[in-house]
Amino acid sequence: MRGNYRLDEVAGMYYNIPCVRFRQGKKTIVSINLHEDYYDFQIVLGRVEREKFEVVKHEFPLEIQELYDREPTRHDGKWLLIRVADLKTLEAVKKLILIKKKPNRKPFSKENALYGKCGHRCDLCVHYTGISEEFRQMLIPHLNAVYGVSFWDMRCTGCDTVNCHCYQDGGQLCEPLKCIQEKQLDTCFSCASYPCKQATVGYRQLEHKSITADDVTWAILPYVPNQYEQP
């Protein structure tokens, strides 16, 4: 969702269950109920969306077809509440979201991209010395919204450079650099397991909190490899 869609995430409650609604303006594209060990996805299909779904209905798992047939058509459409417990159901939900809305996130160009060895975009990082102070001050409120209010005054000249943060910090390598050193690789890109949790330390799992589409753009996606880049 975050890599393909530019949507605000609004924390709320579905009865007594915490949920996050992905919205464009006041329109909810999908709502996700946050259970302890699984997610429920709720999608409302309006008239036009039902017409699109019914054309390809046969392509969906039988459980989704039966759910659609079983649910009444309300004034605003059919409310589909789908428990996602396996990859097949997740793929079906992705197709439903595509019926609801086409991806709308515009990618960043790779033209001036500068990558750390873990795949992070150094040129979009608050700590990088190569960005302007104006850009840095723009980033900080978004970082605070996602990770909590903090000091962002550490500076780094780029991964594995003389003034890289790792070398400034007494030569203590960050976890991704420790990992590639142990595996005797030059970068995380060379690893068969890439991308992994080690290489995406900026990634945040879905939480019961409200953040904006711009918060996702500037505080999450630069640290999640290959999320929204064009050639």
Q: Which two tokens stand for residue 72?
A: 């009444």
pLDDT in tens, 171-229: 677 788 888 888 998 888 888 888 777 776 666 678 999 999 999 999 998 887 766 66
Tell how strand 8-14 and strand 39-45 pair up. Answer: unpaired
Tell how strand 17-24 and strand 8-14 pair up. Answer: antiparallel
pLDDT in tens, 15-70: 999 999 999 999 999 999 999 888 999 999 999 999 999 999 999 999 999 999 99
pLDDT for res 194: 81
pLDDT for res 201: 61
| DSSP sequence for 136-154 | HHHHHHHHHHHH-S-----
Element (H, E) at 51: helix 47-56
Collapsing DSSP states into helix, strand and coil, what is residue 56? helix
- What span, in angstroms and rounded, lies between the C-alpha atoms of 143 and 152? 9
What percentage of the chain carries pLDDT values higher than 70? 93
- What span, in angstroms and rounded, lies between the C-alpha atoms of 128 and 223? 13
CA angle 166, 170, 173 (to 5 degrees): 35
pLDDT for res 195: 77
